Structure 1
Amino acid sequence: MSSSPFSQDQPPSSPEIKVLVDEKARSLYCYVEQSFKSKGVQYYLLLPIDSPISIILWEEDKDEEQAILIEDEADIERLLPEAEASLAEEDLILKPTSFTLTVSGELPEPEDDDILTLEIETEGGLETEEFQLLATFSYDNYEYGIYTPLVPLLFFAKVNSEGSLDLLSLEELKTIQPILEEWMFN
């Protein structure tokens, strides 16, 4: 019998919750989906408790609408009051959490008309992602949509020397990828 390079923790009887904190001391509460230990380091696969959202600008370009994902933090800060008011009309509460904006409340069932498919550029090339429209608003003569991903947004984190959690960098993810693949398929 071969020895495994990691050990899996026993699943808890009730959901375990961990908190990711960013450099601005904002928090993101997450359920622990999985955890494992490798070479003395504790790793977690985390799922936000509240629903992650993205703000998308709809821009007219030569008689075509173009969807632009708003990623600049200053732009997001400027749009938050309008986004918050728009979501409140849908009985959703906007939360400026760490690493992603989130909303709490009951999301509507996705309908075909409310699904947006985007090709998002990543280090590995283009990836297709689907989003559900939650609300719309106007700001400075531009139209925006607030969307939540249909595929859950997951975070990989590790326990640092102080006992708090750090998100894994892309380099760290690549380093532990073989261990993750073996662990996930066992």
Structure 2
Amino acid sequence: MSSSQFSSESGLYDDNEIVTIYDEEGRSLDCYVENEIEYDGKNYVLLMPIDLAIVILTEEINTDDEEYAETIMVEDSDEIEAIFDDAKAVLGELNLFLKRTGFILSASGELPPLEENNIISLEIEEHISEIEPEELQFLASFYCLEQKYNICTPLTPILFVGERKKLGKIEVFQAEEEELSWILEELLFEEYEEN
């Protein structure tokens, strides 16, 4: 698949085009269209959320070795629901407004200045054999349900890839398919070329 098979559509849209995407539960997330390409008769878009992505971390005690605790991302919707009000109150003290948006938690407002001692490096298992470190900016911590939680935002922007359907609706890809990785590379390459 060569770049010549792709045709960039990004010039057709204002740099500030905003679209709304929806997760399976119908929650919305507003995103900027960072780039758009056409491939095989379909239009693919690279999207970046308008608001800050929020990650909540906690520690999970290893049942085999109680002295060892592993830092994990809170992804269970019931647990998020249980701690959401506390997390929202803690971020409110930083003038950040936490939202239950589609796909991710997000917050609007201005981030506090980034300081070196507020950077957390978290190793994320991308594939069975690959572990990728991700850097996060620590924002606040709180206790809930006798558990400590840390609220962070990724230093690398969260990006989504979707297909623009009829009437402008965008279908977001959630699975990592081989063709999708090529499309993502093209979207990122085209965007880099324009800057």
- Normalising by structure 2, report the TM-score: 0.84
Q: In 2, distance between residues paired with 1:78 and 1:3?
A: 47
1:114 corresponds to 2:112: no
Partner of 1:154: 159
| CA–CA separation in structure 2 for the residues paired with 1:182 and 1:32 | 15
Match for 2:107 among 99, 103, 106? 103
Count how many residue pairs are aligned between Structure 1 and Structure 2. Answer: 184
Deviations along 1:85-105, one digit per CA (max 9) or x if unpaired, are: 100011100011000000000
2:8 equivalent to 1:8: yes
Unmatched 5+ stretches in structure 2: none
From 132, 136, 140, give the equivalent of 1:131: 136
CA change 1:136–1:3 in 2 (3 A) is: closer
1:166-181 → structure 2 map (5 Å cutoff):
166-172=171-177, 174-181=178-185
Residue 106 (structure 1) shift: 0.3
Alignment deviations for residues 74-131 of structure 1 (CA, whole Å, 9 cap, x no partner) = 1111110110010001110001100000000000111112111011112262111000
Specify the code of the residue in structure 1 equivalent to 2:75.
Answer: E
CA distance in 2, matches of 1:141, 1:64: 18
The 3 A distance-change label for structure 1 pair 180 and 122 is: closer
**Structure 1 residue aligned with 2:82:** 78
Structure 1 Cα separation of the partners of residues 161 and 120 of structure 2: 26
Report whether the alignment pairs 1:51 with 2:52.
yes
User: Could you tell me how far 1:170 is from its partner in structure 2?
Assistant: 3.0
RMSD of aligned alpha carbons: 2.3
Task: List structure 1 segments (4+ residues) > 6 angstroms apart after TM superposition.
Answer: none
Query: How far is the alpha carbon of 1:58 from its aligned partner?
Result: 3.7
Q: Which residue identity does 1:69 align to in structure 2?
A: M
Offset, 1:4 = 2.0
Q: Report whether the alignment pairs 1:93 with 2:97.
A: yes
Q: Higher mean Cα deviation, 12-21 or 61-70? A: 61-70
Structure 1, unaligned stretches of length 5 or more? none
AA at the equivalent of 2:92? A
1 or 2, which has the higher helix percentage?
2
Question: Which of residues 135, 145, 148 in structure 1 aligns to 2:150?
Answer: 145
| Distance across 2 between alignment mates of 1:116 and 1:109 | 15
What SS does structure 2 have at the residue aligned with 1:19?
strand
Kept after mapping to 2: 8 A contact 1:58/1:145: no
Query: 1:40 corresponds to which residue?
Result: 41
Q: Which moved more, 1:26-35 or 1:62-71?
A: 62-71
Distance 2:67 2:176 in 1: 41
Counterpart amino acid of residue 7 in structure 2 = S
